[in-house]
Chains A and B, each alone.
Chain A
Amino acid sequence: AQKITQTQPGMFVQEKEAVTLDCTYDTSDQSYGLFWYKQPSSGEMIFLIYQGSYDEQNATEGRYSLNFQKARKSANLVISASQLGDSAMYFCAMREGRRETSGSRLTFGEGTQLTVNP
């Protein structure tokens, strides 16, 4: 079974508008972490935002916010005021288990290709 599901292979948004990229996850662990990464066409993986399973507040980093709905097992990324430079592939990822223990692998979704139109 897929542990991370990103159902939107591609998304389009107008410059300056907000966009939500969907991510649902599946885990039986009580402690886990959720990450979003951006991969521009140049190929590097850029860390955007992190949400811990016990964090009560939704994470925010500048124009990025994570809409964490634990009961629904969803961790959607919201990008406000989209910019042309936001055009990239976006990956949702999960770390299962307590971060203090060993084996902190990330499991990635298949990604969403975001295109920002001028």
Chain B
Amino acid sequence: DSGVTQTPKHLITATGQRVTLRCSPRSGDLSVYWYQQSLDQGLQFLIQYYNGEERAKGNILERFSAQQFPDLHSELNLSSLELGDSALYFCASSERVGGYEQYFGPGTRLTVT
């Protein structure tokens, strides 16, 4: 158990819908990262937050957004969902902005039908 929690574990929804994925980092970790794992694209970095502020952006679509709250949990919002958004979404956390080790949560498997 990495100490990073993600909910829900599975999510099935229809095209055009909006969903919110939630992540709680390890106790004491200030940095949260979101990654997407799909068959087409492999594991891709989406976005990073450090202590509530956005720190880095990767291949995140405009339909996607994220935030980190004062209690350090983070949410990834996916809207206008398309079939191609079906993937495993991971949250990872690390202690500081540079993150020596990134510990991953169990992931949320999103299926868009």
Q: Tell me, yes or no, whether A85 is within 8 Å of chain B by CB.
A: no
Q: Report B60-113 residues with CB < 8 Å from chain A CB.
A: 88, 90, 92, 94, 96-107, 109
Q: For A33, what are the chain B residues with a Cβ–Cβ distance below 8 Å?
A: 100
Q: For B105, what are the chain A residues with a Cβ–Cβ distance below 8 Å?
A: 44
Bound Cα distance from A21 to B1, whole angstroms: 25
**How many B residues, CB 8 Å from partner?**
30
- Taking chain B's interface residues, is the majority helix, strand, or loop, or is none over half, making it mixed? strand
Q: For B55, what are the chain A residues with a Cβ–Cβ distance below 8 Å?
A: 102-104
How many residue pairs between the two chains, A and B, have CB atoms under 8 Å in the bound complex?
Answer: 73
Bound Cα distance from A115 to B101, whole angstroms: 26
The answer to whether B45 and A43 touch across the interface, beta carbons within 8 angstroms, is no
Q: Report A78-118 residues with CB < 8 Å from chain B CB.
A: 91, 93, 95, 98-108, 110-111
The answer to whether B42 and A106 touch across the interface, beta carbons within 8 angstroms, is no
The answer to whether B106 and A43 touch across the interface, beta carbons within 8 angstroms, is yes
The answer to whether A47 and B101 touch across the interface, beta carbons within 8 angstroms, is yes
Q: Which residue of B lies closest to A103 (CB)?
A: B56
Q: Tell me, yes or no, whether B24 is within 8 Å of chain A by CB.
A: no
The answer to whether A99 and B98 touch across the interface, beta carbons within 8 angstroms, is yes
Q: For A101, what are the chain B residues with a Cβ–Cβ distance below 8 Å?
A: 97-98
| Contact bitstring B28-57, A, C-beta under 8 A = 1, else 0 | 000101010000001111001010000110
Query: What's the nearest-Cβ distance from chain B to residue A34, in Å?
Result: 12
Which one of B42, B94, B103 has the highest number of Cβ atoms from chain A below 10 Å of its Cβ? Answer: B42
Q: Tell me, yes or no, whether B16 is within 8 Å of chain A by CB.
A: no
**Contact surface of A with B, Cβ cutoff 8 Å:** 33, 35, 37, 43-47, 50, 91, 93, 95, 98-108, 110-111
